[in-house]
Structure 1
Amino acid sequence: MNLFNFSIELGFALPLLTFITALAISYKCYPIIIKVSNLKNLMAEPNQRDVHSTKTPNLGGIGLFIAIYIVIIFLGSYLEFNFLLNLLGAIMAMFFIGLVDDLVGMRPKSKLIGQIVVAFSVILLTNLRIVSLYGLIGIYELPYTVSVGLTVMFFITIINAYNLIDGVDGLAGSFAITANLFFAVFFYFTANYFMCFLSIGVIGALISFLIFNFSNKNKIFMGDTGSMVLGFLLSYQALHILSLDLNENFSIIFSKDFIYIIALFSFPLIDTIRVFFMRIKEGKSPFTADNNHIHHNLLKNGFKHWEISAIASFFTIGVVFLVFLFNKFEINIMTSILALAWLIAATTVKNLNLPFRSFKIYKRSFN
């Protein structure tokens, strides 16, 4: 009996087992990582940009990596052997890029080169790439070299945009859970069981991470170790959606899946585009670190960390639902609607201080 037939007979037992396995393994890892980090002083030192004032272990990505790696091996018979080896090798490479950066620091250029090498290896060895723009600005099938270049850019953009939102407790973890819920549902209805169960496993690992990430006593950050691995997996899962031949029951909803993917990553993409534009406008390098991210603006206006995480998750769900409402429109019209939603969101963040200052004054008048 193969794993597929076994999973059909067990119904929800296999995905549940995957979820529990990832949850339990990562949950057991974090106390050990925190203890070792404290003993060896492997901590994130607070600086002027950080929202935390005390040294905190930042190797939570190790627990995420271990749990996800074991889940991939556990589900390995669902995947072709070359895909399996490539995926395991890719996330291991991303893990070590993040780990080196967390332990001793790494120049942005070096990290970028590492990410490009990993992206190229995935594309060239598995042919997983963006092959069409589905009529966006009149473009359909892409030439091979353009397809490869665009896919590499997609990997780099998603990985680094995700890394940039990891600035407050729970934000990166909550967003990844929301995205993986979307992926799990999509892959289930398209019968891509390996990717579905992988998404469920990632959710399990992230839930246990959030327990410690939100903790006051045993707090831990995912660090670049975690954000590199998760950013890669998010882009990898998204590319699998773009490569699927949709079945009749699902093609009605996701006939324009490229726009749904862009909508799903709206929060990190808006944040990245916004801060890059502001830095360039001020004559700075777009890669200069600052406190102008969306989560910094929300913090300044009195939002708590968990509230910011909830806002990001609900915003993501809302944007995907907005695109769904206009699914019958032509793809360029849908893109225009999405761009307008992004512009409204970015403008709202920029001007948050005005309504919230008025609210605080109004609130004080009744005290």
Structure 2
Amino acid sequence: MELIELWQQLEPRSWLRALSTFALVALLIPVSLPLARRWGLMDNPGGRKQHDGAIPVTGGAVILLGLLASYALFETSWTVRTIVFISGAVVLVVVGQLDDKYDLRWTWRISVQALAALAMAWLAGVTAHNLQDVFGFAAANIGLLAIPFTVFAVVGVINALNMADGVDGLAGSLALVSLALFTCFALYAGDLYLAERLLALGGAVLGFLLWNKRSPWLPRAKVFLGNGGSMLLGFILAWAALRLTQNPAHPVSPVLGPWTLALPLIDCVVLMLRRWRSGASPFKADRNHMHHLLLDAGFTPGKVTVIMAGGSLALGLAAAVAVKLGVYRPALVVLFLGLLLGWYIFTRRRDVAVARLARLRGGAPVPAAALEAARETGEH
């Protein structure tokens, strides 16, 4: 079935839901800005934070409001699964906003993320239990390991999105790309119920990006996601990936999950491994993320967002085409691990990696003194 025909399956109600969610979020963002200043929900520059001026961090809260309004207006029945999903989203945003204001210990954030993931797996039954054809078997049910593996995977995705939130528009654009791909996968699987909800979530993210992504009419972001927003988007993407790939009625391979989130996952895993090997906390903020290297190589924030979002889209589409053509699934797993290893080796020496990226751009990297200063600062 052609891509256009896939999208034609959606009913007018689905488009109305997405459009209304988009409009609500886009209109509520400017309303939230003075409230953020009054409540002290601001991201102030200094140290590893190099943006200009204090920026409100209520983007995630407004996306959540759009999500709640969408469900309140368009849901005809509320299942246990829906209630768990909404509850997990609310808890993550609330704790994330508290973290934005009071700078909570990372152990608190991880604990709350794990509890939300546990509720997803245990109460809602959304688990990574069937790794069909990932290891070369028709089915590979991991049984009792399903719940702990699900918690580990969901927490990983949440933190991957959180770590990608370092450039105007980046985390939102990565989430939007993944939601678009997941919506296509849901339509291909014939799951119009899930496709409608993913489309609405995409509308909410797009409404936020109007005020977060740099453009000719927006020279810098007016609002940030905040930790609550990045955790919310990670939670949503993890939920969508599991719903799509763990339903026996869906012809969607579990292999597509990590490929759809490839760049943030690879960046997150490589950095955590490198921090662990150096004896530092895996959650210690630094300035060695993929987007930081691109910035130091001379790419503008806008180009960094385009490169990473475009790369994420290309990898997700390539994996989907490979699955459609019947490529041996374990080969795609090996290729993904190869990309991860390749990025680990490529970034082994930060200055060399930046210089190579600068050559790809056709220019010179940031001077060594600036790179050294960047290494001494930290940015999540």
Tell me if both proteins adopt one fold, taking TM over 0.5 as the criterion: yes
SS at structure 1 position matched to 2:254: helix
Q: What is the DSSP-based 3-state SS (H/G/I as helix, E as strand, rest coil) of the residue aligned with 1:360?
A: coil
Task: Report the alpha carbon displacement of residue 353 of structure 1 after superposing the two structures with TM.
Answer: 2.4
Match of 1:343 among 341, 344, 353: 341
1:312 to 308, 313, 317: 308
Aligned residue in 1 for 2:354: 353
**Aligned position for 1:191:** 190
Determine which of 121, 124, 129 is the counterpart of 1:131: 129
Aligned residue-pair number = 346
Worse overlay, 158-167 or 329-338: 329-338
What secondary structure, in the 3-state scheme, does the structure 2 residue paired with 1:126 have?
coil
| Offset at residue 90 of structure 1 (A) | 1.6
**Counterpart of 1:238 in structure 2: which amino acid?**
A
TM-score, normalised to structure 2, is 0.84
Question: Where do residues 250-289 of structure 1 align in structure 2 (5 Å cutoff)?
Answer: 251=251, 254=252, 257-289=253-285
| Cα contact 1:158–1:231 (8 A) shared by 2 | yes
The superposition leaves residues 250-296 of structure 1 with CA deviations (integer Å, 9 ceiling, x where unpaired) of: x3xx4xx1111111111111111121122233332222111000111
Alignment of 1:137-148 (within 5 A): 137=135, 140-148=139-147
1:107 matched to which residue of 2? 105
Look up the equivalent residue of 2:41 and give its one-letter code: L
Amino acid at match of 2:239: Y
Asked if the contact 2:89–2:235 (Cα under 8 Å) also holds between the matched residues in 1, the reply is: yes
Q: Is 1:72 the counterpart of 2:66 in the alignment?
A: no
Q: How many angstroms apart in 2 are the aligned matches of 1:319 and 1:11?
A: 25
> How is 1:208-287 mapped onto 2 (pairs within 5 angstroms)?
208-213=207-212, 214=214, 215-216=218-219, 219-246=222-249, 251=251, 254=252, 257-287=253-283
- Helix, strand or coil: the match of 2:294? helix
Change in Cα spacing, 1:339 to 1:74, as seen in structure 2 (3 Å) is same
Shift of 1:24: 1.1
Instruction: Indicate how the Cα distance of structure 1 residues 136 and 66 shifts in structure 2: closer, same or farther if over 3 A, else same.
Output: same
Moved more, 22-31 or 99-108: 99-108
Aligned partners of 1:129 and 1:148 also within 8 Å: yes
Task: Report deviation, 1:297.
Answer: 0.5
> What is the aligned partner in structure 2 of residue 81 from structure 1?
79
Distance 1:130 1:160 in 2: 18
8 Å CA contact retained: 1:59, 1:102: no
Deviations 1:46-98 (A, max 9, x none): 23212313211111111111001211233322x66222222221211112121
Structure 1: gaps spanning 5 or more residues: 1-9, 363-367
Preserved contact between residue 297 and residue 364 of structure 2 (Cα < 8 Å): no
Question: Identity of counterpart residues, as a percentage?
Answer: 22
Change (3 A) 1:357 1:72: same
Residue number in structure 2 paired with 1:334: 332
- TM alignment of 1:296-307, pairs within 5 A: 296-307=292-303
Q: 1:7 matched to which residue of 2?
A: none
